[in-house]
């Protein structure tokens, strides 16, 4: 399956684009998708610890704008947003 | 009654006059405006500006949920709430957020205004990148989003 990971906040430093693209296995849970992202960043940025920390502390949101938990199964091609720790105002 | 919007600084800016019009009502005797702006110093670093990033759809959803929560929590009659948050790069002193509330009484208005800004800090997906004098910039750490 193809996942377009939309980047926000500090995660925008992961790419020059506003998203990353992943090919993942069917029904992967968010907790495993999180590991995929960390592995990708580890390779691309040679173990950048602050990027790893951002992913570990982020939430994710589905295409229909719901925050999804670690056990959410990704069962189709879709956009997923990464939501790093927030701080507006 | 709620007005909620993410304002793209490349197209427009946050204006108090719009909030004044929205919350004006003869049923309300207390109006409070909370205005957040960019200040010049943070953690001993001289700040020159701030970039705000936003997940627009989730931000609006969050504002609507906070409004619904406020109705349940306080049970105030005839309230009006106007919230706008900026998106994009702004300069020192520019407005980043405006929360205007109108209630029957002043204690209600103070309580409601405070409730909104504190909940937004915890639940609304907005991020800040500070820009410094030496042309460095840095995303501020923030806190994990709270869903309920």
- B30 Cβ contact partners less than 8 Å away, ≥ 6 residues apart: B102, B103, B104, B105, B106, B108, B109
Of B53, B96, B142, the CB nearest to A85: B142
Q: What is the mean pLDDT of residues B140-146?
A: 93
* Closest Cα in chain A to B56: A65
CB atoms B145 and A86 under 8 Å: yes
In this predicted structure, the answer to whether residue A47 has a pLDDT above a threshold of 80 is: no
- Closest residue in A to B98 (Cα) is A89
Mean pLDDT score of chain A = 95
Cβ within 8 Å, pair A65-B57: yes
- CB < 8 Å to B57, chain A: 65
Residues 6+ apart with CB under 8 A from B91: B38, B48, B49
Please give the Cα distance from B60 to B42 (Å, whole number).
28
SS3 letters across chain B: CEEEEEEECCCCCCCHHHHHHHHCCCCCCEEEEEEEECCCEECCEEEEEEEEEECHHHHHHHHHHHHHHHHHHHCCCCCEEEEEEEEEEEECCCEEEEEEEEECCHHHHHHHHHHHHHHHHHHCCEEEEEEECCCCEEECCCECCCCC
User: Cβ of B143 and A89 within 8 Å?
Assistant: no
pLDDT, one tens digit per residue, over B39-61 is 999 989 999 999 999 999 999 99
pLDDT tops 80 at residue A20 = yes
A87 with B126: Cβ contact below 8 A: yes
Q: Does the pLDDT at position A24 exceed 90?
A: yes
Query: Measuring CA to CA, which residue among B32, B101, B58, B38 is closest to residue A9?
Result: B58
Structure tokens at B1: 């009654």
Is the interface score ipTM higher than 0.90? yes
The backbone torsions φ and ψ at residue A75, rounded to the nearest 5 degrees and listed phi first, read -115, 5
* Statement: residue B25 has pLDDT above 90: no
What burial class does residue A36 get, using C-beta atoms within 10 Å of its C-beta: 0-12 exposed, 13-18 middle, 19+ buried?
middle
Other beta carbons less than 10 A from residue A60's beta carbon: 22
* pLDDT, position B12: 97
Which chain A residue lies closest to B35 (C-alpha atoms)?
Answer: A89
Helices A30-44 and A49-56 cross at an angle (nearest 10°) of: 170
Structure tokens at A27: 């029904």
Q: Does B128 touch chain A (CB under 8 A)?
A: yes
Mutate to test the interface with A, among B52, B53, B66, B121 (most CBs of A within 10 A): B53
H/E segment holding residue B41: strand B41-42
Provide the 3-class DSSP secondary structure of residue B1: coil
Task: List the structure tokens of B37.
Answer: 């702006």
pTM: 0.94
When pLDDT is averaged across residues A11-16 and rounded to a whole number, the result is: 97
| Residue that the structure tokens 């929590």 belong to | B73
């Amino acid at each position: 399956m193809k996942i377009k990971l939309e980047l926000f906040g500090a995660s925008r430093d992961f790419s020059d684009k506003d998203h990353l693209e992943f090919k993942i296995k069917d029904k992967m849970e968010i907790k495993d998708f999180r590991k995929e992202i960390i592995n990708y960043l580890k390779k691309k940025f040679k173990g950048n610890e602050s990027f790893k920390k951002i992913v570990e502390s982020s939430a994710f949101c589905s295409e229909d704008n719901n925050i999804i938990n670690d056990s959410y199964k990704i069962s189709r091609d879709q956009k997923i947003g990464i939501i790093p720790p927030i701080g507006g105002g | 009654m709620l007005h909620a919007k993410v304002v793209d600084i490349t197209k427009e800016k946050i204006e108090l006059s719009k909030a004044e019009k929205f919350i004006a009502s003869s049923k309300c005797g207390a109006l409070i405006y909370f205005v957040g702006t960019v200040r010049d110093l943070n953690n001993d670093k001289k700040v020159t500006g701030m970039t705000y990033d936003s997940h627009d759809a989730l931000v609006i959803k969050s504002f609507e949920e906070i409004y619904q929560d406020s109705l349940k929590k306080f049970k105030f009659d005839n309230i009006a709430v106007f919230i706008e948050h900026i998106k994009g790069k702004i300069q020192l002193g520019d407005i980043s957020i405006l929360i205007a509330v109108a209630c029957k009484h002043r204690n209600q208005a103070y309580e409601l205004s405070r409730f909104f800004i504190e909940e937004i800090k915890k639940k609304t997906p907005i991020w800040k990148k500070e820009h410094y004098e030496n042309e460095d910039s840095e995303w501020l750490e923030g806190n994990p989003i709270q869903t309920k």
